[in-house]
């Protein structure tokens, strides 16, 4: 059985039909061919916005009531990557995202410290 088989749920992102690019407004994702706006605005999605995202993550991966910081999001992504049934391809994509979120947080902190130190009287 091919690792791309749609009957094997843990082989990576599901294969979806591609629409001609001329009918798709906005940017398309490489894995699906759907416009990003269509994925974000999916009416069937359980998580629809930042509020429902925080609620969902609080149920399983973060500490309830804590703010959604980049560190918490990165931590949640690393935990999600270890979930049973996650394919190696999907695990790598989740971990890559977690590392990049962590790097963004580190860069933001470094930028903040640099700006603060430059504003101090000399």
- Tens digits of per-residue pLDDT, 46-69? 999 999 999 999 999 998 888 889
b/e per residue, 93-104, with b = 16+ CB within 10 A? bbbebbeebbee
Q: Per this entry, what is the length of the chain?
A: 122
The pLDDT, as a whole number, for residue 52 is 94
Backbone angles phi, psi at 35, to 5 degrees: -65, 140
Q: Does the predicted model carry a pTM greater than 0.85?
A: no
- Structure-model confidence comparison of residues 17 and 42, the more confident one: 42
16 Cβ contact partners less than 8 Å away, ≥ 6 residues apart: 32, 33, 34
Query: What are 46's two structure tokens?
Result: 């359980």
Tokens of 54: 């925080």
* Token pair of 80 as six digits: 């999600």
């Amino acid at each position: 059985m091919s690792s791309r088989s749609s009957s094997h749920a843990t082989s990576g992102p599901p294969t979806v039909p591609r629409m001609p690019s001329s009918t798709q407004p906005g940017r398309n994702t490489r894995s699906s061919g759907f416009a990003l706006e269509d994925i974000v605005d999916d009416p069937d999605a359980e998580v629809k916005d930042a509020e429902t995202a925080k609620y969902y993550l609080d149920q399983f991966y973060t500490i309830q009531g804590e703010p959604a910081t980049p560190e918490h999001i990165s931590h949640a992504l690393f935990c999600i990557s270890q979930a049973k049934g996650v394919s190696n391809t999907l695990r790598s994509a989740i971990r890559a995202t977690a590392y990049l979120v962590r790097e963004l947080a580190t860069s933001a902190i470094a930028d903040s410290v640099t700006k603060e130190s430059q504003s101090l009287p000399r």
